[in-house]
């Protein structure tokens, strides 16, 4: 039987790394019994959904560069900080 630490680790890796059938069964059983790990799983899903929305919104705005005057002010502030 998997413990909470193992389940937490597996939940963070689940989208990126394949999990064996045996480990998936153990994960499912643990999640059925452990409300804390279920909450952790829900929170991770919420965070992943939010990040996906943010990256989509960011991509939509990527075609809109900063105005030239704003870029100049930023460059001036960075130069001023470098001189300190």
Instruction: Quote the pLDDT of residue 62.
Output: 65
DSSP the chain: ---HHHHHHHHHHTTTS---HHHHHHHHHHHHH-HHHHHHHHHHHHHHHHHHHHHHHHHHHTTSPPPHHHHHHHHHHHHHHHH-
Count: domains in the chain: 1
Q: What is the pLDDT of residue 61?
A: 66
The pLDDT score that the predictor gives to residue 45 is 92
- The residue range of the domain holding 76 is 4-83
State if pTM tops 0.75.
no
User: Would you give per-residue pLDDT tens digits along the chain (84 residues)?
Assistant: 899 999 999 999 867 788 899 999 999 999 999 999 999 999 999 998 888 887 776 666 666 677 888 888 888 888 877 776
Looking at residue 33, its pLDDT comes to: 98
């Amino acid at each position: 039987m998997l413990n909470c630490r193992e389940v937490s680790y597996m939940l963070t890796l689940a989208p990126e790394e394949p999990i064996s059938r045996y480990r998936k069964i153990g994960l499912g059983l643990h999640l059925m019994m452990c409300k804390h790990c279920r909450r952790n799983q829900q929170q991770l899903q919420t965070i992943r959904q939010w990040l996906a929305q943010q990256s989509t919104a960011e991509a939509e705005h990527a075609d809109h560069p900063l105005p030239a005057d704003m870029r100049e002010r930023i460059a001036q502030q960075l130069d001023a900080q470098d001189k300190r």
